[in-house]
Copies of this chain bind each other. A is one copy, B any other.
Amino acid sequence: MANELVYSGKTKDVFALENGNYLLKFKDDCTGKDGVFDPGENSVGLTIEGVGDVNLRMSIYFFEKINAAGIKTHYVNADLENTTMEVLPAKVFGEGLEVICRHKAVGSFYRRYKQYVEEGADLPAYVETTFKNDELGDPLVTKDGLVVLGVMTAEQYDQLKDMTQKITQIVADDLKEKGLVLYDIKFEFGYDANGDVILIDEIASGNMRVYKDGEYIDPMTLSELFFA
C-alpha cells in the first residue's frame, strides 16, 4: 500500500508510515535565486540532479553522530536507493522556527549589528531564533518572545539552546578535521509527545556557512569536499 503524502515542502515530501513514523523524501529542488543555490533564500530557485541524495547522505552522517552523542533527533534510518529518511513523529514550534548557531559574525547577524562587531569576528556559540515568514524576512524572536507568544516554554528554550550549541560543536569539530571552518548553521527543532525537544529536518550543506582558508565554500562544493 502506498504511503500517504501528508506534506509537500520546498525540498522534501513527507509521507505518513503505518508504524506512526514519517518518511521524508529528499528532492533535487534547492532554494535559491536566478539559478544559484542560496540557502538564505526562501523560494525554490533551481533543481540539481543528485542534490537530494547528497543532502540525505550528509544528514545521515551527522544525525548518527548526534544520536551517538546522546542528543535526541528524529532520525530512525534511511534508504539511499529511494532517497528517503524515516523519522519519528514530532510537532514543530509554532508555524516553523529556525534556530541559528553562529561561530562567526557574518550574514544577517553582521548586517543587523555591524555598528558593534567586525565582519567575521568570533562569536561564542551564539544562538538565535527566527520565525519562518518570507513576507516579514524571517523576524528574530527572543526567548521571552517565544514564551509570551505561547510557542514554547522557557524550559524548552533552554533545552533547545543547549542542544544547538552541542550539535553545532559536533558539526564544527567534524568539518575542522576536513580543513573546513563552520561560520554558522541553522537547525529545526520539534518536540515529541512528552514535550521533549528533538532535532528534526536535515543537516545538509545548504544549512551551514563553511569557509576554507578564509574563502566561502558554496553548498555544492562543500558537499563535494565533504564526501571526497
Contact = CB atoms under 8 A, between A and B. Distances in A.
A139 interface: yes
Contact of A127 (B115, B136, B144): B144
Nearest to A117: B149
Given A142-B140, A142-B143, A115 B131 contact: yes
Interface in A81-97: 94-95
Contacts of A226: none
A115 B149 CA distance: 10
Contact of A150 (B95, B116, B126, B143): B116
B126 A145 contact: yes
Given A123-B148, A148-B123, A128 B142 contact: yes
A139 B150 CA distance: 23
Contacts of A140: 139-140, 142
A141 interface: yes
A70 interface: no
A217 interface: no
Contacts of A20: none
Contacts of A128: 142, 144-145
Q: Which of A113, A133, A140 has the most CB of B within 10 A?
A: A113
Contacts of A112: 136, 139, 141
Closest A-B pairs by Cβ, 9 of them: A116-B149, A112-B139, A142-B142, A126-B148, A140-B140, A123-B148, A126-B144, A117-B149, A113-B149
Given A95-B116, A111-B136, A113-B131, 17 more contacts: A94-B116, A112-B136, A112-B141, A113-B139, A113-B141, A113-B149, A115-B133, A116-B149, A116-B150, A116-B151, A117-B149, A123-B148, A126-B148, A128-B142, A139-B140, A140-B140, A142-B143
